[in-house]
Amino acid sequence: MKVFNILFPYDKPLPRGKGDELSLANFYNDQKPKPDDELKDCHPDKLRENVAAEAGNAITEALAANRVEDINDLLHLQQQMTALQTANHMAMVTIEQKDELIAQLKAEYQ
């Protein structure tokens, strides 16, 4: 900082601080920095609020899209869908096995 002040003289005293970036932000201008305006969306509490709001919106949209009243109903629908998909897959495997058996029997009788 002192070398910089020698190369680029500044008529005001150097800022005193302990790692405070905001005190150095307006070193060469007379305006005070506005950290709240620039960083208001980057504050950890604000980020948590935004994530919670987005999660709430996603749940509400999922409930409306699936025409259910409760998130547990949506979970129940998902479990039913998984059970149906499993049953469908088992039926397809059974049909394939029967088709193979029919093909083998036809081959034996011809």
Among 36, 65, 41, residue whose Cα is nearest residue 51:
41
Which tens digit of pLDDT belongs to each residue from 8-20?
A: 666 666 656 555 5
Task: Indicate the SS3 state at residue 62.
Answer: helix
CA 103 to CA 94: how far, in whole Å?
Answer: 14
CA 10 to CA 64: how far, in whole Å?
Answer: 62
Is residue 7 one of the residues assigned to a domain? yes
The better pLDDT of the pair 63, 29 is held by 63
Is residue 21 one of the residues assigned to a domain? yes
Which tens digit of pLDDT belongs to each residue from 37-71?
A: 666 667 778 888 888 888 888 888 887 887 878 87
> What is the four-CA torsion angle of 72, 74, 75, 81, rounded to 10 degrees?
150
Which tens digit of pLDDT belongs to each residue from 62-99?
A: 878 878 788 788 888 889 999 999 999 999 999 999 99
pTM of the model: 0.40
Domain of residue 17 covers: 1-34
Is residue 82 one of the residues assigned to a domain? no
Is residue 29 one of the residues assigned to a domain? yes
Domain count within the chain: 1
Q: Can you give the pLDDT at residue 103?
A: 93
